[in-house]
Structure 1
Amino acid sequence: MKINIQKAPTRLGSGYPAPFDKPCLDRKRVRLGAAAGLTQFGVNLLHLQPGTWSSQRHWHMREDEFIYVVSGEVVLVTDEGEEVLRAGDCAGFPHGAPNGHHLQNRSTREAIILEAGTDDPQDKAEYPDIDLRATPDGYEHKDGTPYPKAGQT
């Protein structure tokens, strides 16, 4: 079934607790997989404005991830260092491999990235650079103390 991209569910900004949300506030994810009714894997069209990150650097315990740069230029940051990705470049991140990764748009124009990955509600993600872990119940500190949920203080 053809997807009307203009009507697809869209996520703006970041759900990270402060201050970890700041570098990701100017991002937009168009949820193409959700618009098609997919439940076993997700597909997103990620729009990164200049200066914006795709996420905090992370890795997933149960979810594989794949990205393809549609337009623009981003910097892929991993444990091995940094690498520029341009339109036509792609990368993959297998679940369970503890290699934190994310994309940064350091250019002066928008970058658009196609993201695909497992959609596992029991997934957990580790954030090696900061005091953050994602669980099925929300974000927590590395000692297990939960962060307040969005809207709570």
Structure 2
Amino acid sequence: MPKLDLDAIPQTNLTGYPPPYNEPVQGRMYRRLAPATGMTHLRASHVVLKPGAWSSQRHWHRLIDELLVMVSGEAVLVDDAGEQAIRPGDVIAWPAGVENGHHLQNRSDSDCVFVVASAGDYDADGGEYPDIDMVFDPDGYARKDGTRYETDRIP
């Protein structure tokens, strides 16, 4: 049956971000939907952001398209254009290769929930985090001078 039982899909807050960049995402709980469905070309996550949590560090992808649909609650989209409130039913898209660092911040006093889907060449993807000294590639995270962080990337 195509309807997913979210409770049957493991939820985690794992991150591969090195300290201190991992701290803002500690209140991000997510479920990876593709493994439960057998999908191999599209990745998707069901995400709950606790109050004060960020969806990620502000980033962009070279080879991955991203699409986000807000399900409940409210968050603030922070990108190169500034800040914008995102509410239930809002849809946001980030095409691959567009250098627009983005993430969501939950500045409210209640959880917000969204689904984010992505597609592209995961094995070759890379990108940047414009606000911090970090870039990513298929092998993990590095500083902008190329020295590697001692952590494993969790795509």
TM-score (normalizing by structure 2): 0.92
Deviations for 1:52-72, whole angstroms, at most 9, x for unmatched residues? Answer: 000000000000001010000
Question: Secondary structure at 1:35's aligned position in 2?
Answer: helix
What amino acid does structure 2 have at the position aligned with 1:86? Answer: R
Identity score, percent: 45
The number of aligned residues is 150
1:140 partnered with 2:116:
no
Deviations for 1:95-130, whole angstroms, at most 9, x for unmatched residues? Answer: 000010000000000000110111512110210010
Provide the rounded CA distance (Å) in 1 between the counterparts of 2:98 and 2:144: 18
Question: Secondary structure at 1:12's aligned position in 2?
Answer: coil
Return 3-12 or 50-59, whichever deviates more: 3-12
Provide the rounded CA distance (Å) in 2 between the counterparts of 1:104 and 1:90: 16
The answer for the alignment partner of 1:17 in structure 2 is 18
The answer for the alignment partner of 1:103 in structure 2 is 104
Structure 1 residue 29, shift from structure 2 partner:
1.1
Structure 1 residue 37, shift from structure 2 partner:
1.4
1:116 partnered with 2:117:
yes
- TM-align CA RMSD: 1.2
Provide the rounded CA distance (Å) in 2 between the counterparts of 1:126 and 1:68: 23
Question: Secondary structure at 2:104's aligned position in 1?
Answer: strand
The answer for the alignment partner of 2:81 in structure 1 is 80
Question: Secondary structure at 1:23's aligned position in 2?
Answer: helix
The answer for the alignment partner of 1:41 in structure 2 is 42
TM-score (normalizing by structure 1): 0.93
The answer for the alignment partner of 1:70 in structure 2 is 71
What amino acid does structure 1 have at the position aligned with 2:134? Answer: L
